[in-house]
Amino acid sequence: MAGAAAVVEGVYPRTVGRSYTLRTYGCQMNVHDSERMAGLLEAAGYARSDDPATADVVVLNTCAVRENADNKLYGNLGHLRPRKVANPGMQIAVGGCLAQKDRETIVRRAPWVDVVFGTHNVGALPVLLERARHNAAAQVEILEALEVFPSTLPARRESAYAGWVSISVGCNNTCTFCIVPSLRGTERDRRPGDVLAEVEALAAEGVLEVTLLGQNVNSYGVEFGDRGAFAKLLRACGDVPGLERVRFTSPHPRDFTSDVIAAMAQTPNVCPQLHMPLQSGSDRVLKAMRRSYRSARFLAILDEVRASIPDAAISTDIIVGFPGETDDDFAATLDVVAEARFASAFTFQYSPRPGTPAAAADQLPKAVVQERYERLVALQEEISWQQNRAQEGHTVEVLVATGEGRKDAATRRMSGRARDGRLVHFTPGERTVRPGDVVTVAVTYGAPHHLVADGPPLTHRRTRAGDAHAAGTRPGGPSTGLGLPGFGAPGPEPAVAGCAVGSGAVGSGAVGSGEGAR
């Protein structure tokens, strides 16, 4: 059902009568990029498809970090081929990190793909789709550097109550296992005023929680010469009316400083949660990874955080089986995990990424990596369970969410996140509780990956976010960026609260093989 297309005045060609669907793989940055892609498509006249199986345009926003990312992409493209054959007017677009890496290889391996675009030119998607239709030929456009900061583009937000806000893109680190810098480029920092303006706009539309995003959020400000910018931004978010929760992801131990910890502790709406990637507890392996800290420094950061924020829930990323990892190295990781007592950990079996230094090293036998992985998961599961059992009898505030509890319908529960990021399943009782509302509940059971509150809510606060969710509306409107891309050195600002960025998306429990984020 290929609709008619028409180009009207404006930045993007406006396509009338065509529908789209988006499939997103990978990290929070990709999720946020997909919101921008959806906003661009809708600004160009596309409508979100009620039935993804019949959409006129299918966009795959890919990841190159997770294990088997290539196989997943080409497998999905293979499944789409019969639809394309049956309906030549349908279009398939591939974007994201794997598109940035594979480029023309995608259309060579899957010649039924219409558009390939990378991480630096998300804004070109509508134009490339129209060009592919007009020219009846695949369009591959990959830029080597960011020209327009993604946050200056339109967005179709997925949530009425929580929003992603990008503060930087790219990374200046050179971790030997990581492909991200080659795909996302070097760090580009968004202007503090632009970041804060987007946060304020979201809060004005009823959003209660924002997560500040960056490949390394606490290096924010290095591009414009203010190493304290991250802590300043956290404090500035504390002054935004209506904003109840601030999270951030991901920080790097090298750049995590005392002023950030103080800002977290002293800013009431910054959540008591921290995601701090360890990657390995072995100093020898950390050196081979080019991680510019050692285990003692890492543990000292955790001690300082807990001294200032005693109830902080701290999570981490750990890679098992990095090339050259010995039994002693792995034992050191177990020792650090036991001492750190993470609330949760995302544990990954190392898998090589082509083009990274570690990929060229001798790899460990799969059986060895699997055995170590299982031992690490068992240790962390026990620690997580102990920490969650300690929450029993406590009262927690929950921002009610959608899609968090896979068994909610069967158990007649609802779910959401506590302020420290823990997943909470609760029984709403007779109350009409909506996603976006806020409840307080008493924890009756702590499981390894979640908390359960089986009594009725102690309190229930209806919110504008809950109203918006019930009405099916989402934050929208024009982007906050004006004119030229909003990154680089900021202009003079009034002597009021500064701004910067934070990080820490906490998940629950151990996650399967792939690779640690930062």
Q: What is the pLDDT along the chain (518 residues), one digit of tens a residue?
A: 333 333 333 444 555 579 999 998 877 777 878 888 888 898 889 999 988 889 999 999 988 876 677 778 889 999 999 999 999 999 999 998 888 888 888 999 999 999 999 888 888 899 999 999 988 999 998 887 766 666 666 667 889 999 989 899 888 898 999 887 777 778 889 999 999 999 999 999 999 999 998 889 989 998 899 999 999 999 999 999 999 999 999 899 999 999 999 999 999 999 999 999 999 999 999 999 999 999 999 999 999 999 999 999 999 999 999 999 999 999 999 999 999 999 999 999 998 887 899 989 999 999 999 999 999 999 999 999 999 999 999 999 999 999 787 777 778 899 999 999 999 999 998 889 999 999 999 999 999 999 999 989 999 999 999 999 999 988 874 333 322 233 334 343 333 222 222 333 333 333 333 344 44
Report the 3 state secondary structure along 414-460.
EEEEECCCCEEEECCCCCCCCCCCEEEEECCEECCCCEEECCCCCEE
The dihedral sign for the CA sequence 21, 123, 93, 118: negative
Cis before residue 295, ω within 30 degrees of 0? no
The residues pairing with 92 across neighbouring beta strands, listed in sequence order, are 58
Q: CA neighbours within 13 Å on the CB side: how many for 137?
A: 4
Interhelix angle 28-43/125-135, nearest 10 degrees: 60
pLDDT of residue 7: 36
How many contiguous H segments (helices) and E segments (strands) does the chain have?
A: 15, 21
Residue for token pair 């910054």: 270
415: which strand partners? Answer: 401, 425
Are the beta carbons of 128 and 456 closer than 8 angstroms? no
pLDDT at site 69: 73
In angstroms, rounded to a whole number, what is the distance separating the alpha carbons of residues 457 and 75? 45
Q: How far apart are the first and last CA of the chain?
A: 43
Q: pLDDT value at position 164?
A: 87
pLDDT attached to residue 151: 62
Q: Which residues contact 351 (CB under 8 A, 6 or more apart)?
A: 67, 68, 513, 514, 515
- Amino acid present at 105: T
Can you give the length of the chain in residues? 518
pLDDT at 490: 39
Print burial letters for 346-367: b (CB count within 10 Å at least 16), e (below 16): bbbbbbbbeebbbbeeebbeee
Rounded CA separation 270/167 (Å): 16
Apex CA 85: angle with CA 81 and CA 91, to 5°? 70
Per-residue confidence (pLDDT) for residue 480, from 0 to 100: 33
β-strand partners of 399: 417, 438
Q: Which residues of 144-171 are buried (b: 16+ CB within 10 A; e: fewer)?
A: eebebbbbbbbbbbbbbbbbbbbbbbbb
Q: What pTM, to 2 d.p., does this model score?
A: 0.77
463, two tokens: 């919110």
- How far, rounded to the nearest angstrom, does the alpha carbon of residue 305 sit from its chain's CA centroid? 23
**How many other C-beta atoms are found inside a 10 Å radius of the C-beta of residue 382?**
12
Confidence (pLDDT) at 514: 38
Ordered domains of the chain (ranges, CATH): 19-141 (3.40.50.12160), 171-518 (3.80.30.20)
